[in-house]
Chain A
Amino acid sequence: MNEDSFYVRQFLTGEKDGFEILVKKYQDRVLNIVYSIIRQDRESEDIMQEAFLKVYRNLRYFKERSKFSTWLYRIVVNTVYDFLRKRRNFISNEDILEMRAATCEGPRDTLLTREKEAMIQEALLGIPLKFRAALVLKDIEGLSYIEISEVLRCSIGTVESRIFRARQFLKEGLLKLTGELR
């Protein structure tokens, strides 16, 4: 029995600590996945919270057919999709201005880092959602193709082609933004 299963069982026997330990363990990973997909601070935290609430309400239905993390990421990705479905025009002009303003703060070295960050994030946002989700799970969270196929409920071949296409989009996006791959 792995560590996550232990805490899941602990929670199911009535000890709330099990759930809180899992939250602490996964909160940063989930936040980075959500943020990389939607790039909005406050909304990312709300989506993350909503996802963990879903986990809390449904943990008793988790049958351990997959790893806890796979089940969790599936909930996270579905919560992100729901959010984006409700807010189709999620990249408003205000958001872009806000992000660009953020790059103009701070000393020069951090400015360059922030500028680079913003550029990568902007290029990521130019990737169609289903390709972006696969790429984020691979490169941000480091999941294997099999795990991604379980999270996204698609074949390994589909995962492969989505990641391949995502990288092509990212390359084009970065080339447009910078003129070269720095």
Chain B
Amino acid sequence: MKECIKVSKLLSRYLDKEASCADNLLIEAHLDKCLSCKKELLELSRIKELVLGKERKTLPQDYLVCRLRQNIADERCIIKQGLSWLSGIGDFSRKIIPVPVAVIVISLVFMILTSKQQLTEYSLEEHVLSGAQTTTETALGVMLGVLN
């Protein structure tokens, strides 16, 4: 019975001619004396035959090639259109875009500097309110962000 379980697991591999030589010997010796495993093998081989005998589909030789050519040509066309649109934007940007970009950059720098100053002022105030000893050195440290 134990051998049946072992062999039945190997039958599929045996049927596909993928079993090792040692497994082949074991399976064949077992099949000689076990009718139920022999029946199992017959059923498996019948199933394999059914799938193997399944009708195969075929396409005309150039069918897919034509579809692919069309698809690839369409894709290229879209990419080209995309690039021409980008190059149009490029011409435009050379003349107009630097001005708003510069304004945005300057605004960002100003905002960062202002927020940093507010933060250090608040930190210094907080330091004084905390009752800790405030010397020129600690005040400078807090303002420069070296000390908390």
Task: List the interface of chain A (C-beta within 8 A of B).
Answer: 20, 23-24, 27-28, 31-32, 35-36, 44, 48-49, 52-53, 56, 113, 117, 120-121, 124, 135, 138-140, 144-145, 160, 163-164, 167, 170-171, 174, 181
Contact = CB atoms under 8 A, between A and B. Distances in A.
Main secondary structure of the interface of B (DSSP, over half): helix
A139 to B, nearest CB: 4
B51 A140 contact: yes
Contact of A24 (B9, B46, B55, B65): B65
A120 to B, nearest CB: 5
A82 to B, nearest CB: 17
Contacts of A140: 51, 54
B140 interface: no
Interface of B: 9, 11-13, 16, 18, 43-44, 46-48, 50-52, 54-59, 61-65, 67-68, 71-72
A145 B16 contact: yes
B21 to A, nearest CB: 16
Nearest to B71: A53
B67 to A, nearest CB: 6
B19 to A, nearest CB: 9
B48 A167 contact: yes
Nearest to B15: A167
A27 B64 contact: yes
B47 to A, nearest CB: 5
A163 B68 contact: no
Contacts of B71: 49, 53
Ranked nearest first, the 5 interchain pairs of A and B with the lowest CB-CB distance are: A164-B12, A139-B51, A27-B64, A145-B18, A20-B65
A129 B11 CA distance: 22
A144 B18 contact: yes
Contacts of B50: 120, 174, 181
